[in-house]
Amino acid sequence: MTQEELDAMMNGEIDDIDGLEEETSEEITEEPAPSNDSADTGLPPGYSDDTSHHWPLPATDENKMVHQLDDVTKESEEKATEIFDIIEVISNDLMEKEENISNAIEVLTSNIELFTTLSTKFPDVEAFQTQLQKNEAALNDTNETLEMLQNSGDSIMSVMDIMQYQDIHRQKIERVINVMRALSKYMNTLFEGRIEDEKRVSSAQHIAGDTHNDLASTDDIEALLAQFGN
């Protein structure tokens, strides 16, 4: 009810109060509930897509720099260890198969010598010549297999050498972490006071010599931070 309607009712100019209340109720509309941009975007309270780049993110476990770097080095070392374990198993299997192939080559070489002798002494026996050819073909295939296993072993060693760079990268990150931690401790020591914050007297809002006594508003502070963000 407006002030004019109230004055008219007091002067007796409005008799239908019920009708007036119905008109007033129709004019009132429900204001929509404020949307929580932070909940929709996953940003912390007080942040939005338009202003998040103006503000430093809050110090949570998800964005603490040293915390994140520690996680990176830890996970990287764990995954590298798993890879080395797998490579070691493959390398051992290759070495075992190489030994088996070498034994097979010795047997095939011996068979070839035997059938060569038999074919020479008994040229009319076709079976000796056939077995000689089969063993020679098997020996060629076996030598190719042995060469492939040896090349695979060399490739495995190359992979292990390349993986050593991962450890070097981890050490570089750890060195950055140490520098950051040293700087953090230095800054904490630099700003350290002899009086605990809980026991410190409330800071004055104005001191002698100030040109004005106006406090900066929230809008002024946000505008200033926005300039630094840009």
Q: Which residue has the higher pLDDT, 58 or 136?
A: 136
pTM of the full structure: 0.53
Burial code (b: 16+ CB inside 10 Å, e: under 16) for 22-42 equals eeeeeeeeeeeeeeebeeeee
The predicted pLDDT at position 28 comes to: 47
Q: What is the pLDDT of residues 65-89, one digit of tens each?
A: 888 888 888 888 898 899 999 999 9
Per residue in 118-172, pLDDT (tens digit) is 999 999 889 999 999 999 999 999 999 999 999 999 999 998 888 888 888 888 9
Domain ranges of the chain: 61-188
